[in-house]
Structure 1
Amino acid sequence: MLQYDNTAWNFFALAWISLYIVPSWYGIIRKLYKATIGTSDQDIGAVARTSDEEKKAALLKRNAKGLKTLNQGFYVNLGITVALTCLAVYLSASIGEGGEVNSFDPFTILDVPSGADLKVIKKAYKKMSLKWHPDKNPNNPAAEAKFMMVAKAYEALTDATAKENYEKYGNPDGKQSLEVSIGLPSWLLDSDNRNIVLMAYLIIMVGVIPFCVWKYYSNSSKYGEKDVMYNTYSWYHHSLDESTLVKSLPETLAGSAEFRERNMPKDVSEKSQIQKLLSKVKSVMQKPTHNNPILIKGNVLLHTHLSRQTDSADLSVQYKEDLHFMLSKTNALIDAMISVCQHQEALKTALNCIQFGQNMTQACWNKDSELMQLPHFDEKLAAKNKNISLAEFLKLDKKDMKLDGLTEEQKQDVYKCTEIIPQVSVETKIFVDDDEDDNVYEGDLCSVQVKLTRDNLAEGEKAGLVHAPHFPFPKQEAWWIILGTKEGKIIDLKKIAKSDKSFTHDIKFLAPKQGTYNFDLHVLSNSYIGLDQKLAVELVSKDASVLPEYKVHPDDAELDDEPTLFEEMLNAQNVEEDSDSDDDDSDSDEEEEEGIKELSAEERKKIELQKKRQAAAGDDSDDDDDSSVEEVYAD
């Protein structure tokens, strides 16, 4: 007997709601904790190793801590969780008042006291059956179900067999293998709520669920690798080629699809503001090739960063936020540029994109000195150290550094920075795996092993974050390793983000035809300008025909002779077919014997005599047997 059970529904709904609110509250509390007191400065990269980094560290603390760091999705989830929690509390209270899940109790169903006499039971049954009779409640499934339960309850208390079954098994129909009640609220069966239920079902099934699926698909279909939009990749493929220069890359980056909605000018007043900024950066900015307002605004903002004019009074608060947003996407987008160059096999452009990434990290542009990456260095101080690269400056003794005009504290910042910026040495070798011979032969899988060592680190020490006080986000040090041909084609390109004192990277490829080949190996920093190294790699590929003939070991030969599982199955099938053909042959033999039996006695005697002659002559040829038989028949 099935019945709609409100208490069972409450248990069911509470269980499903708990599956959402329990982990949701855990996530909410965890995010609130991290936004207030649970995040250390080290976790967010807010570490000031020099006085130049103090401003950046303070900015990271402001942006990475506090309730303002919680996004819109957090508050939406918080509202849903609070609403479901209130519903869970209500359901819990309903369960406490409603008691246990419905069981068959005839006294409760008839609303009579336990142990009531037959007269009271009949009176209650008559009253309730009239109340819930289907004729008086047309189109009311709940009333029909209630009427059936009343009839069963009356039967359990008046019929001897039903009463015995109820007392023994708890059910008037006897022992049941399973007792079930429908865990749905009874108001679903109320005819007054039918239209509301159908409308809610229609909205959810036809509206809400398809909309959520469409929204998810439309958003996810916009993004490719590394969460970069497909339209951005398309733009890069259109803008980048083998002749692209570094000075044109800010405009290419400004055209990324991620920036288009945000950099769209909202009103006419923005035009004058962009013109003021353009006048300040025009001297270091290449003439734009596109007249699109989105590209112009993004290009101007990026050059404002590259020329270190972000504190200019002409840069509004809104524009500072727009630039901050663009810089937050810069690392991933420049990596996407490099991947497009790798796809196009444009080595020179890939090197230019890596250099552009260094410029963006250090806020230095093409004509700036490499020493501008050091704390407190300006154009005058860099001019005093003219003709000295950053790599050379790092190796100078403190007394040889020209730091005139700096205070002792500022000099300490410079010394500290020279310890942070890596001093690297690179070693290479070519080898073939599992081959004791140092020679490389045509067709071998050879490896160019690149070993990079940070000479400024002690053994076991790890590289820290990049010293980039003008880039508003923490950045981990990494190295680009590129092997290319003299003609400018890329053989391998990989970004290695290992922080150990030394690490190795193997570039594997098949050895080309016999001859001597010269390659260029580029090792470039993802963040520092002036530390790049270019090494020559020579590969001598020898003729493989001079190698001794390879002889298969007997054990390996035996293994090769063993049939595979497929061959075994195929042979088994052939055996079955052969057995069938043997049966056919035996049938033909039997037919031949039958034919011999049908011959006359004289003919049989001739055949037997011929067989004895053949046996005496020792003739075992089947063809001869056949011819002899034919001769006998001819006789």
Structure 2
Amino acid sequence: MSRDYNYDNEGQFFPYFILTMLGLILVPLTYSTFAPNKRTPISLEPSYPLRMKTGFLPPKAELIEASRWRQAKRERRIKRFLSIIVGWGLFSYMAYLVVTTKAGGSKLWDPYDILGISSGSSEKAIKKHYRKLAMQFHPDKISPTGNETIETLNDRFVEMTKAYKVLTDEEIRNNYELYGHPDGKQSYSIGIALPQWIVASENTYYVLAVYGFIFGIMLPYTVGKWWYGTKKHTKDGVITESAGSLFKAYDQVTDERRLIEVLPLGEEYKDLAKEWGNLGNDAMVENKIKDVIGKKSFKRLQEMEEGPRRRALGLLWAYLYRVDLGTEALEYAKLDTAPPAITLNNSFLSIALAYGSTAPILASMHLSQSLIQAIAPGESPLLQLPAFTSAIVAAVEQDGGKNHWTIQRFMTLSEQRRRQLCIGDGLLNEAEYEQAIAFAKKLPALKVEAAFFKVAGEKHVTVSSLVQFVIKARIAPPGADLQPVDEKDLLDEDPDESDVDALIGRKSNRWSQASAKKPAKVQPNPLAHAPYYPRDYSPRWHLFLADAKQGKMVIPPTTFTQLEKTAEGGVETLKLQFQAPPQKGEYTFVMHLVNDAYVGIDTKMNVRMIVEGPEKVMQMGAEEDEISEPDEDSIAGQMNAMRGGPVKKKGKKSDSDDSDEDDEEESDTDGEKNVQEDSETDTDTDTDEDK
């Protein structure tokens, strides 16, 4: 069968061309847009829909909301989304045309269909039917009507005659069965789905030039740009050059204020400076922040060269001290400095964790709190309360800022005393006071109820064993009237031996098969109350152990982004898993439980771990073997009875069982909290919470 390739004049195959080109573009574009972004350190997915509502609107709230919208617009890339929607719409329409359009020349030649007769008709019926058609459609007996011509009438009658002969003439029938047509092999015409100007001979060189430009230049450039874009950022979401600058600026004695001066080294601020354009004289911003940031910080700012870094640092200080810069352009620029600072700070935290020094790790975690709440390092945590200003904080603390109060301390005051300190001329009114108290009573502060070390299935922590540091805590907002903790909630039962995920410390999505039903769906944690921060943020809790003497991190942080029991008073279990030291002895650590979104709700406490040698385990095993009595109905019991030894009667509890239960009650692996420093239990914890 010969083939004839020609241009598709009717445009029948053109949808195939458009469909193919759109698929090559839309598939990678859609994947890159909707694929999970591993570089983003904080998930802003709708899995955190709740927001703490207090009714408070900060000064110039409309600018903050506008900045939030502008930031979201940058991240969502609205133009790309619109392009994807339009592209897939056109793709769907082309697919519809492909399905519904009948391709010319693809229909099979069917003699029964041509004659309009059923395939089961007899030869006599076929001849009779053909005679009727010949009388009706013979070219000599009818005249052309409408768009018909003599040629179309002749062609139709010829097709009918061929169909009749195929069904009645044996030789022609054989030809049809072999080749699918009574005339033998047929040529097959394929319409090329390309625009006509592409296949025109006079445009050959132009077409080759265009194809060479697309596939030789544009395609490699696009792929290279995409590949460079994937390598341009680190896993923390910062530009690689920015991470290098932060690495060079790392110092073991870095504090929060020094870290603020390091963050503007990021290349992200150079890109922001291009968007800012001309904001006017930087001296105007520096004059406004001169009296609030301190002499040392202002001096270091003045010593910097003029440029994007100095401008970004001045605006960042203005954001942290909530300085009104006067113009709308400067206010937008001030708010724009906060989100990149969070991302760069997370990158610095990764660097600090690699070095392991406690001071820069805590400085980075605490700076995150300051950036989210727009509170400068060293300022009072009371500034988190709605409508609280520096003047109101000074009226409450009444000590000239020497010892700042936490919100917890503020809420320990009587209602009458709080009102006396907060409400008055130049202070809060009644509605603002109620907003502040409402927020304080919702602050997600964690109260540690118990902290202990344990080894699954063992009564002691032994050398080189897999240890779990268990924290039993509950959300205790300041001023909340919590019910006493049920002692059973402070126990930590060992997982079932078949639950491999739990035994190795990996969370499992499955629930216990012994449970009658699936547990209730966990309520999502609310977004952080951050009225000055132009983005949504989900709080995180960092739990790690450190050595106070050496100033080093001992156990890297485990980060908790979702608490399973957010209801007030519900006991939450947080765990760190690590390998015990290879030498026995007593080890003292400092436990840090840090929230990265709120100031002043961190927990710091001393914990003690006693590591026993293998001889302790062997000694306990021998003691248990000596005092245990075999059951009388067991083989060991019968043999022991024959030798005159003691056996345990059926249904009778031996003294050894009682002693075992006492040992278990005294063991620290059952999750009970030790309250005495000189306790003789295997695992002990001393608590020393920061005031």
TM-score by length of 1: 0.65
The 5 Å alignment of 1:48-63 reads 48-52=53-57, 56=61, 58=62, 62=66
Distance, in Å, in 1 between the alignment partners of 2:68 and 2:236 is: 22
1:318-338 Cα offsets, whole Å, 9 max, x none, are 333333222123333222221
Tell me the CA shift for residue 347 of structure 1: 0.9
The residue that corresponds to 1:520 in the other structure is 590
Q: Does 1:341 align with 2:352?
A: yes
1:472 to 515, 534, 537: 534
* Residue equivalent to 2:455: 432
Distance 1:517 1:95 in 2: 74
Contact 2:15 2:94 in 1 (8 A): no
Matched, 1:9 2:9: no
1:355 aligns with 366
Residue in structure 1 matched with residue 559 of structure 2 by the alignment:
495
Give the corresponding residue for 1:452.
Answer: 473
SS in 2 for 1:220: helix
**Offset from partner CA, 1:247-296 (integer Å, 9 cap, x none):** 11111111122112323695695444454445455536353274352221
| 1:378 corresponding residue in structure 2 | 389
2:308 paired residue among 294, 299, 313 = 294
1: CA distance, partners of 2:95 / 2:614? 80
Q: Secondary structure at the match of 2:236?
A: helix
Once structures 1 and 2 are overlaid, which stretch shifts more, 74-83 or 485-494? 74-83
Q: CA deviation at 1:472?
A: 2.4
Mean Cα deviation higher: 59-68 or 244-253:
59-68
Residue in structure 1 matching 2:410, options 389, 393, 397: 393
Does residue 506 in structure 1 map to residue 575 in structure 2? yes
CA offsets 1:580-631 (integer angstroms, 9 cap, x no match): xxxxxxxxxxxxxxxxxxxxxxxxxxxxxxxxxxxxxxxxxxxxxxxxxxxx
The residue that corresponds to 1:368 in the other structure is: 379
Residues 391, 96 of structure 1: alpha-carbon distance in 2 compared, 3 angstrom cutoff: closer
Provide the C-alpha distance between the structure 2 equivalents of 1:258 and 1:416, rounded to a whole number of angstroms: 37
Q: Secondary structure at the match of 2:611?
A: strand
Seen in structure 2, the aligned counterparts of structure 1 residues 46 and 192 have a Cα distance that, compared at 3 Å, is farther
- Is contact 1:362-1:373 (8 Å) kept? yes
Residue of structure 1 equivalent to 2:433 = 411
Contact 2:373 2:530 in 1 (8 A): yes
Q: Residues 480 and 523 of structure 1 are in contact (CA less than 8 Å); yes or no, is this contact kept in structure 2?
A: yes
Q: Distance in 1 between matches of 2:411 and 2:465?
A: 41
> In the alignment, is residue 441 of structure 1 matched against residue 462 of structure 2?
yes
Q: Residue type matched to 1:340 in 2?
A: I
The Cα shift of 1:190 comes to: 3.4
Question: What secondary structure does 2:593 align onto?
Answer: strand
2:572 match: secondary structure: strand
Q: Does the 8 A contact of 1:45 with 1:474 survive in 2?
A: no
Equivalent residue of 1:226, what SS?
coil
Counterpart contact for 1:483–1:520, Cα < 8 Å = yes
Change (3 A) 1:339 1:394: farther
Distance 1:520 1:68 in 2: 40
Task: In structure 1, give the amino acid aligned to 2:578.
Answer: F
Change (3 A) 1:488 1:382: same
Structural mapping, 1:314-333, within 5 Å: 316-333=327-344
SS at match of 1:522: strand
In the alignment, is the contact (CA less than 8 A) between 1:21 and 1:81 conserved in 2? Answer: no
- AA at the equivalent of 1:233: A
Shift of 1:524: 1.6
Q: Provide Cα deviations, 1:209-247, integer angstroms capped at 9, x if missing partner.
A: 111101101222111113222222212211122111221
| Maintained 8 Å contact 2:544/2:592 | yes
Question: Which one is further off, 88-97 or 399-408?
Answer: 88-97
Aligned position for 2:216: 206
Q: CA deviation at 1:304?
A: 0.3
Aligned 8 A contact 1:247 1:286 in 2: no
Residue 21 (structure 1) shift: 10
Query: Equivalences for 1:562-581 in 2 at 5 Å?
Result: none
Q: What's the Cα RMSD here?
A: 4.7
Are the structure 2 counterparts of residues 163 and 214 from structure 1 closer, same or farther at C-alpha, using a change threshold of 3 Å?
A: farther
- State the match for 2:200 in structure 1: 190
**Deviation string, structure 1 residues 433-481 (Cα, Å, up to 9, x no partner):** 232x1x1111111111123310238898764232222222222222221
- Give the whole-Å Cα distance in 2 for the aligned partners of 1:70 and 1:77: 12
Shift of 1:340: 1.1
State which of 243, 246, 251 in structure 2 corresponds to 1:233. Answer: 243
Paired AA for residue 74 in structure 1: I
Q: What's the % identity of the aligned pairs?
A: 18
SS at match of 2:530: coil
> What is the rounded CA distance, in whole Å, between the counterparts of 2:587 and 2:89 in structure 1?
70
Could you say if the C-alpha distance between residues 161 and 115 of structure 1 is closer, same or farther in structure 2, counting changes exceeding 3 Å?
farther
Distance 1:372 1:449 in 2: 33
Secondary structure of 1:351's match?
helix
On the 8 A contact 1:251/1:298 being kept in 2, the answer is no
Query: Within 1, Cα distance between the matches of 2:16 and 2:387?
Result: 67
Structure 1 residues not aligned, in runs of 5+: 31-40, 106-110, 120-159, 552-635
Whether contact under 8 Å (1:306, 1:364) holds in the other structure is: yes
Q: Which has the higher contact order (CA 8 A, sep 6+)?
A: 2
Larger Rg: 1
Residue 312 of structure 1 is matched in structure 2 by 325
Q: Structure 2 CA distance, aligned partners of 1:94 and 1:511?
A: 67
Look up the match of 2:544: 482
What are the superposed Cα offsets for residues 164-208 of structure 1, whole Å, 9 maximum, x if unpaired?
7468744578589x9784654484543223223312221221022
Number of aligned residue pairs = 492
C-alpha distance in 1 between matches for 2:66 and 2:245? 34
3-state DSSP of counterpart to 1:446: strand
- Alignment of 1:261 onto 2:271: yes
Partner Cα separation in structure 2 for residue 389 and residue 183 of structure 1:
76
| Alignment CA distance shift 1:278-1:411 (3 Å) | closer
Is this contact kept in 2: 1:479–1:496, CA < 8 A?
A: yes
Q: CA deviation at 1:431?
A: 0.2
Using the alignment, how far apart are the partners of 2:370 and 2:242 within structure 1?
Answer: 21
Q: Residue 5 of structure 2 aligns to a residue in which SS?
A: coil
If the length of structure 2 is used for normalisation, what is the TM-score?
0.61
Partner Cα separation in structure 2 for residue 543 and residue 81 of structure 1: 66
- Correspondence for 1:74: 78
Q: Distance in 1 between matches of 2:88 and 2:200?
A: 25
* Cα 1:82–1:163 shift into 2, 3 Å: farther
Deviation at residue 45 of structure 1 after TM alignment:
7.1
Segment drifting more, 235-244 vs 329-338: 329-338
Matches for 1:27-42 after TM superposition, within 5 Å = none
Q: In terms of mean alpha carbon deviation, does 63-72 or 355-364 score higher?
A: 63-72
CA offsets, 1:57-80, max 9 Å, x none? x55654567999488953366468
Matches of 1:477 and 1:270, distance apart in 2: 37
Structure 2 CA distance for partners of 1:538 and 1:13, relative to 1, 3 Å:
same
